[in-house]
Amino acid sequence: MVVHSKPAIEQLSNANTCAALLPGIPLIDLSKPDPKSHLVRACQDFGFFKVTNHGVPAPLIRALESEALRFFSLPHSVKSQAGPPDPFGYGDKKIGPNGDVGWLEYLLLTTNSHSDYHKFSSIFGHAADNFRCLVNEYIAAVKKMACEILEMLAEGLRIDDREAFSKLLMDEQSDSVFRVNHYPPCPDFPESNGRNLIGFGEHTDPQIISVLRSNNISGLQISLKDGRWIPVPADQSSFFINVGDSLQVMTNGRFKSVKHRVVANGSKSRLSMIYFGGPPLSKTIAPLASLMQDEEDSLYKEFTWFEYKKSAYKSKLADNRLGLFEKIAAS
Ligand code: OGA
Ligand code: NI
């Protein structure tokens, strides 16, 4: 990847990430009977949890990871033929159109059309088909897991329609995205002055749910409700689930969309793959009627997923994107 001058990338203070006295990340074993109440609590308290015994085959994960690494190991001039992301394709350092940068390169792919793959066929040749097949198979597996989790969450919240959330991902028009992030080792990692270089700046994911898997290199951090950051220990055989902004709205704030970020690593390369499960563009995102208690008002103005995406696209990563759609409490 092209090495730009470092000052362009934000540096983070380590001061508030002390590991002592921090709560552990919720762990949900999907093979245990009835994890519903644990899932609900994790979404309320953290908006984030780790899942084991998820049923996604390890060989599939390994195969896709090695194809992705093969892509990222190509010369920059070759990779950039698959870019810039418009919005799909290869991207390097720049995240979104509003000046955010990070110490990473990435691939952004749609999950329901093949239109973006022509960008890869000239680079990958025949291997482009193999890559596409692996991506499709992987997406199908993580989407199935995401839907099962969303159905357990709906049951845990006692929503009549257990598919109230999952049907948005299963819809043919579901606007979901698949992203592979590669964080190369960062030269002259500024460890000595106690500051970290940002890999991916703090943000919340706008969709309903994100399913993340990374190799065994750490870097991901989540923000607790009190603003402290906690490092998420890497675990290549598990998945990490984020509550997205849309799920926060659909639960009228019961579930928290988790703020997270990635810090760069001095010596090792990190690879993460994230499936972002989103609703159809025309879907109105609003609290589910069956969740609203007597007299409970929606905390949010009504908007469609298209409107929210358009608004998010105009914002910086760290902006409180949902803030624009919150109702101001009448005084
Ligand atoms: C993202 C994200 C984290 C990671 O792509 O939205 O938060 O570990 N990525 O790459
Ligand atoms: Ni994210």
> pLDDT tens digits, residue range 298-329?
999 999 999 999 999 999 999 999 999 999 75
What's the pLDDT at 237?
A: 97
Residue 260: CB within 6 Å of ligand 1? yes
Structure tokens at 30: 């999907």
Biggest CA-to-CA distance, the chain:
63
What's the pLDDT at 184?
A: 94
Structure tokens at 292: 């609203």
Average pLDDT over residues 108-126: 73
Residue 181: CB within 6 Å of ligand 1? yes
Average pLDDT over residues 122-132: 77
Atom of ligand 1 nearest to the CA of 205: 6
| Distance from Cα 295 to the centre of ligand 1, integer Å | 38
Confidence of residue 34 (pLDDT cuts 50, 70, 90): confident
What's the pLDDT at 21?
A: 61
For the chain, the average pLDDT equals: 89
What's the pLDDT at 139?
A: 96
Count each helix (H run) and each strand (E run) in the chain, helices first.
8, 15
What's the pLDDT at 15?
A: 46
- Substitution site in 274, 313, 321 for ligand 1 pocket (most atoms within 8 Å of beta carbon): 274
Coil, strand or helix at 118:
helix
Give kind and range of the element (H or E) at residue 148: helix 127-156
What's the pLDDT at 69?
A: 95
The set of long-range contacts for 296-304, using a CB threshold of 8 Å and a minimum separation of 24, is 296/252, 297/327, 298/252, 298/327, 299/249, 299/252, 299/253, 299/326, 299/327, 300/249, 300/252, 300/325, 300/326, 300/327, 301/325, 301/326, 301/327
Structure tokens at 208: 């309903």
Atom of ligand 1 nearest to the CA of 276: 6
| Distance from Cα 257 to the centre of ligand 1, integer Å | 14
Say if residue 22's pLDDT is above 70. Answer: no
pLDDT in tens, 160-169: 999 999 999 9
Residue 274: CB within 6 Å of ligand 1? yes
Q: What's the pTM? A: 0.92
Structure tokens at 225: 């409700």
Say if residue 125's pLDDT is above 90. Answer: no
Say if residue 203's pLDDT is above 60. Answer: yes
What's the pLDDT at 112?
A: 73
What's the pLDDT at 234?
A: 96
Say if residue 44's pLDDT is above 60. Answer: yes
255 contacts: CB under 8 Å, gap ≥ 6: 43, 44, 47, 153, 243, 247, 248
Say if residue 4's pLDDT is above 50. Answer: no
- Substitution site in 100, 104, 218, 220 for ligand 1 pocket (most atoms within 8 Å of beta carbon): 220
| Distance from Cα 178 to the centre of ligand 2, integer Å | 12
Active-site positions read: 270
- Range with lowest mean pLDDT among 75-89, 166-180, 216-230, 274-288: 75-89
- Please give the single-letter amino acid code of residue 232: V
What's the pLDDT at 270?
A: 97
Residue reference for tokens 């000595």:
192
Residue 308 phi/psi, 5-degree rounding, is -70, -40
- Give the ligand whose atoms come closest to the C-alpha of residue 232: 1
